[in-house]
Amino acid sequence: MGHRVLLSGAASLTGAEVLAALLAAGEVSSIRLLVAAGAAGEEALRRLTAYLGELPERVSALPSELGRPRFGLSVAAFAELARSIDFGIHCAERTRPDQNLERARRANVWPLEGWLELLARSSELALHHLSTAFVGGTRRGLFTEFDLDCGQGFHHAYERSKFEAERTLRESAVSERVTIYRPSHVLGRATDGTAFELGGAYPLLGTLATGRLMVGDGRARLDLVPADFVGTALVKLALAEARGTFHLVGGWEGSLPIREVADLAAKATGRRRGGRLLPRAASGLLALSGAASPGDLGSRHLARHIAEASLCQGLVCDAYRAEAALAPLGLACPAPRSWLPSAVAAAAERRWSAPPAGELEGAAATPPPTTAASARPTDPIFGAKRFHRIGEVNLAFRDLGSGEPVVFFHGWAGAHSWDGVLERVLPNRRVIVVETLGLGDCEAPASADYSLSAQAARARGLLSALEIPTADIVGNDTGSAIAQIFAARWPQATKSLVLSDFHAEGGFPASQVKRLRRLMRLPGGTRLVTGCLRFAPFARSAQGFRHMVFDRSLLSPEQLEGYLAPLAASRERRQHLKRFALALNKAEVDAVAHLLTALTVPTLIIWGADNHYLSPSWGQKLCDDIPGARRLALVPFAGISCHEERPDRFAALLLDFWAELALEAGVSSAVDSPQPGPTITTKEASWTS
Amino acid sequence: MRSRVYREIDAIGAERLAELPDRGLDFSFGLLRAIEKALWGELEANYLTVEDEAGHLLAFTPVYTGSNLNLNALLPKAIQRGYNALVNGLGVAVATRVAVVGCLISDRGWIPMRADLQDRAGALRLLLAEIDRVAKAGKAELGMLKDIHGDFPAAERALMRQAGFAEGFSLPTIRVDTAFPSFEDYLEKHLSKNGRKHARKQFRKAEGLYRLSAITDFEPLIPLVYPLFRNVFLKAKYQFEELPPRFFVECARSTEPRTELVICETGEGKIVGSLLIFYDGHEQLNKRIGIDYEVADSGLIYNLLNYTGISRAIERGLPTVWLGQSSYLPKTRLGGELQDQYLLLKAYNPALKPTLPLQRWWMQRYSATSIAAGLEQGVSL
């Protein structure tokens, strides 16, 4: 029997060539393509058929969503998938060289969670991951197949997200079954210049072909490789069961000076000579006008950034391992002078035209949202918001899924900050997200009680109304305070407790909130505060939302709007916010802190390792204070809103914890949870005290 | 007597190079060939010789031209950062092309000459004239006679200065005397009381944890040990040249001189340290060390590798081991002796000429005396 292959991202520049090489390989008996569900997937198949010809019967499509846990498949279907393949090839990626890190991470890092889970299910499975040589980022000098973290920076989100993806794979427990391929700038086929799409390095080539004045260094070298070489090399190495990292590049000898590439590209498009190159130091001048825009492959602004990042001397890729492995297979990277003109001509014939809408982003680029900002309230997985009147408060909540109930309390990041975690928990659990009065959609008159104790009491009332006698309780930030009060007062209703990033003695309320309260007491103060927060630089500052997350690049305009909308979308909300902020009372949390010392409910403490407001030592203190606390787990590279910043890790910790409790209770069947990603368990072990 | 330029070391050959007995391991055929095969980027190799009418070598030196070397490695950090920013901003065109005379990765620089050569000065002048020609042909803006060892005749260094080279100190090299009948004798007679105590403590600590072995045919191990060498390079304070995996492959294939790899393995068989050794009938060169810094005992592994390297030399009856130009504190604890080396610089670009006196002044801090004084105060380079 031949090899059975699972391929993602077939409808991409390199993925299509990988599929072509798989079809040409006699020893492959079946190829399953992970494609987007619905019309997008059908369109991808139609385009693949148009490019490669009628696909044989051994090729089948598997509708899926790469960014979702288990690729969006059911547990049974996922288990069946793990049994029915020999190796996977992951080519889906977002190659657009912009600064949108959130989208880049969703497309380039998140899908690995599913792949790693697949590998964890079958010890025979191997993964072949398409990365890029530009994980080397801004490093100048030699970059070998053994290198990854050399202390480099990154020009754009694509480089950074691919770097993070490789790090995830290297740190995983299944790293010995993962092979990484790093091509340099990929263009069309060496044979005739045709390309499935004008992604990859085409925006760069287009800039060179059409630009008259651009930022760049004529003497620096550009490493270009044809997509068919990458596809064939990848498949041959995969079939030869190669392991490790391979540079599929031209190297120094096989790369061309940028001046020469610009001339070749210009001549192939009918111009006499290539554009003029200005040193990078002069890029400020070009910023006024932008660089040439190659067809509709990108804006003038993007073209300038591409030139700035790529048209200067950076990495020199060493391909020792790839050359040693490919030589016996009779494969070598073709010299660019022989094929580059045809690639340029073919692209020019297509008028440097972008593929149909959505193609550049690829099927993998639309995984589910994780943050409040990107949440899609209409998505069935997030369900409709419901209200339940308790006293004079109309309590907003979401009740989703089925199974053992778990209640989530949120803090200043808002109720939707839990969405990334919910996504991973929902397949096995009934989830109730209770909104905090003052920080969400709850409705109440001015006379309502905004204190944390009252919020906990209302949550208890809601659970009674929903006929939930006992539930797992999870809280973050101020939501963690509510969870603590809930558990301390009603331990019999608390099956287990997960507390994140809040300690009553750690300066409550935070100094930033105290400043807000002082301002809000002034006439028009609340309006002034929310008005300032609408000003993006202020919102991104330390006085705004800067320290909600560790990685400031996550604070995109959409994300900031996600934080702000529940607080300041209307006059009523501003009033709720003011009442909530003024009601925060240290005495009540102090009282609860005392009760916690007698709490024996199984408790897990999760803390953002880079929490600016409360260092992990407060988490350790909480862990020491609560007799039922099992351990403190740190989420690396995450701030106070760690559940939002690293939902994969947070969810894995939750699932692990609940599985552990279920096992102890002798009801392992109660938790039919997907195995937490091996990367997560390995990494966390070292961080868990 | 005439000068010649070769583009490949194979064109000279190991036998002819062996005619220069004072060349040392740094100028051995195998090492120079490994460097040549591993050159990357713009770097190009030329081999300059002075020969008699019969074609016998009288003097010899390699010259490497290119800009992908960290030629400012010994200068202040501010200069290094400024230079990098300049190249980033204005492009490769402003990068300084340099002609490095001598072995690119030498630990003990020299100009090898035939022992019975009468007119050493004449041969050296011919060589210096050829260096100028090759440097200018390679568009070098700076010529650098790399790490000329203090034992090189002073009169001939004076000739170099007369030829326009400005002389400053380079990082000293470290020599260990290994003329002892056994490693135990070396520990007893050569090390200080503290050094001896430290060594024994290290061995005790390693018992049952780490296993050390020397491997001659180590080419298959390169994918495992190269990342360790790379770790050390990326962590090093002075990074002059970057060596790709091919260098180590060629070293493994070298027979003149002989090479071996000392590896340190954990109980589970994981390689956590490696030491590349060159040796011939006269001396041993501990060329590159590799460490897995994720292991908590990286300091212990470093010491074990060095002690094992020294014990290998003693077993072979070699009287001298060269330990290279870094980590002076632990290496002096191993019984190493600091020896002065000199860097001679010549500006082919007039704009660089005024900087040479400043560079000389800065590099005074690299004299063996200054470094030894620093070591006494616990400051190690």
Q: What is the pLDDT of residues B256-285, one digit of tens each?
A: 899 999 999 999 999 999 999 999 999 999
Query: Where do we find the tokens 């030399």?
Result: B313
d(CA B206, CA B194): 18
Name the residue facing B40 among A150, A151, A252 (closest C-beta). A252
Residue B212: is its pLDDT beyond 70?
A: yes
**Chain B residue at shortest CA distance from A138:** B88
pLDDT at A39: 86
DSSP state letters, A632-661 = EEEETT--TTHHHHSHHHHHHHHHHHHHHH
Pick the closest to residue A546 from A647, A645, A643 (CA basis): A645
Q: What is the pLDDT of residues B145-183, one digit of tens each?
A: 999 999 999 999 999 999 999 999 999 999 999 999 999
Give percent of chain B above pLDDT 90: 82
Task: Average the pLDDT over B120-135 and give the result.
Answer: 96
Look up residue A141 and give its two tokens: 């000098």
Size of chain A, expressed as the number of residues it contains: 689
Interface test with A, best of B70, B72, B226, B294 (most A CBs within 10 A): B226
Helix (H, G, I), strand (E, B) or coil at B66: strand
Residues 6 or more apart whose CB falls under 8 angstroms from that of A247 comprise A133, A144, A145, A182, A184, A317, A318, A319, A321, A322
Q: Categorize the per-residue pLDDT at A298 as very low, low, confident or very high, splitting at 50, 70 and 90.
A: low
Q: How far is CA A76 from the centre of its chain?
A: 25
**Chain A residue at shortest CA distance from B232:** A150
Helix (H, G, I), strand (E, B) or coil at B276: strand
Residue A290: is its pLDDT beyond 80?
A: no
Helix (H) or strand (E) holding A130: strand A126-130
Look up residue A336 and give its two tokens: 């660019």
Task: Average the pLDDT over B361-371 and give the result.
Answer: 93
Please give, rounded to a whole number of angstroms, the shortest distance from the CA of B262 to a CA of chain A.
20
Residue A364: is its pLDDT beyond 70?
A: no
Instruction: Give the dihedral of Cα atoms A173, A177, A178, A179; nearest 10 deg.
Output: 150
Query: Where do we find the tokens 């004076």?
Result: B158
Half-sphere exposure of B121 (CA within 13 A, CB side): 7
User: What is the 3-state composition of chain B as percent helix, strand, coil, each rounded to the nearest 5?
Assistant: 45, 25, 30
| Interface contact A279-B91, CB threshold 8 A | yes
Residue A265: Cβ within 10 Å count: 28
Q: Categorize the per-residue pLDDT at A447 as very low, low, confident or very high, splitting at 50, 70 and 90.
A: confident
Task: Average the pLDDT over A372-379 and give the result.
Answer: 37
Task: Average the pLDDT over A95-105 and give the result.
Answer: 84
DSSP state of B190: I
Residue A337: Cβ within 10 Å count: 12
Q: How far is CA A57 from CA A50, A61, A335, A628, B103, in A?
A: 16, 11, 36, 57, 61
For chain B, positions 88-107, list CB contacts with chain A under 8 A. 88-93
For chain A, positions 144-173, list CB contacts with chain B under 8 A. 144-147, 150-151
| Interface contact B230-A147, CB threshold 8 A | yes
Q: Which amino acid is at A265?
A: A
Name the residue facing A144 among B41, B84, B244 (closest C-beta). B244
CA geometry: angle A161, A115, A137, nearest 5 deg:
20
Residue A164: Cβ within 10 Å count: 19
Residues 6 or more apart whose CB falls under 8 angstroms from that of A559 comprise A102, A371, A372, A373, A374
- Considering only A64-68, A409-413, B232-236, which range has the smallest mean pLDDT? A64-68
Helix (H) or strand (E) holding A465: helix A452-465
**Chain B residue at shortest CA distance from A252:** B41
pLDDT at A295: 53
B40 in contact with A, Cβ within 8 Å: yes
Residue B65: is its pLDDT beyond 90?
A: yes
Counts of helices then strands in chain A (DSSP H, E): 26, 23
Q: Which amino acid is at A580?
A: F
Residues in A touching B232 (Cβ below 8 Å): none
Q: Categorize the per-residue pLDDT at A80 as very low, low, confident or very high, splitting at 50, 70 and 90.
A: very high
Strand order in the sheet with A494-500: A386-390, A393-400, A429-434, A404-409, A471-476, A494-500, A603-608, A629-635
Please give, rounded to a whole number of angstroms, the shortest distance from the CA of A478 to a CA of chain B.
38
pLDDT at A648: 86
Q: What is the pLDDT of residues A187-228, one digit of tens each?
A: 999 999 999 998 888 888 888 888 788 888 888 899 999 999
| Interface contact A312-B226, CB threshold 8 A | no
Q: What is the pLDDT of residues A473-485, one digit of tens each?
A: 999 999 999 999 9
Task: Average the pLDDT over A571-595 and give the result.
Answer: 84
- Cβ-Cβ pairs closer than 8 A, A with B, add up to 64
d(CA A464, CA A484): 18
pLDDT at A546: 86
Q: How far is CA A244 from the centre of its chain?
A: 24
CA geometry: angle B154, B158, B163, nearest 5 deg:
150
Pick the closest to residue A539 from A518, A561, A569 (CA basis): A561
| Interface contact B242-A312, CB threshold 8 A | no
- Asked if B82 and B74 touch (Cβ cutoff 8 Å), the reply is no
Burial of B234 (0-12, 13-18, 19+ CB in 10 A): middle
Look up residue B3 and give its two tokens: 């000068």
Residues in A touching B41 (Cβ below 8 Å): 142, 252, 316
Helix (H, G, I), strand (E, B) or coil at A434: strand
Residues in A touching B246 (Cβ below 8 Å): 318, 320
Look up residue B31 and give its two tokens: 């090492």
| Interface contact A144-B88, CB threshold 8 A | no
Helix (H, G, I), strand (E, B) or coil at B20: coil
Name the residue facing B234 among A150, A216, A218 (closest C-beta). A150
A270 in contact with B, Cβ within 8 Å: no
pLDDT at A375: 36
B245 in contact with A, Cβ within 8 Å: yes
For chain B, positions 48-87, list CB contacts with chain A under 8 A. 68, 84, 87
Name the residue facing B91 among A146, A150, A280 (closest C-beta). A280
Please give, rounded to a whole number of angstroms, the shortest distance from the CA of B196 to a CA of chain A.
36
pTM for this entry: 0.70
Q: What is the pLDDT of residues A132-166, one digit of tens each?
A: 999 999 998 999 999 999 988 898 899 999 999 99
Look up residue A356 and give its two tokens: 């149909």
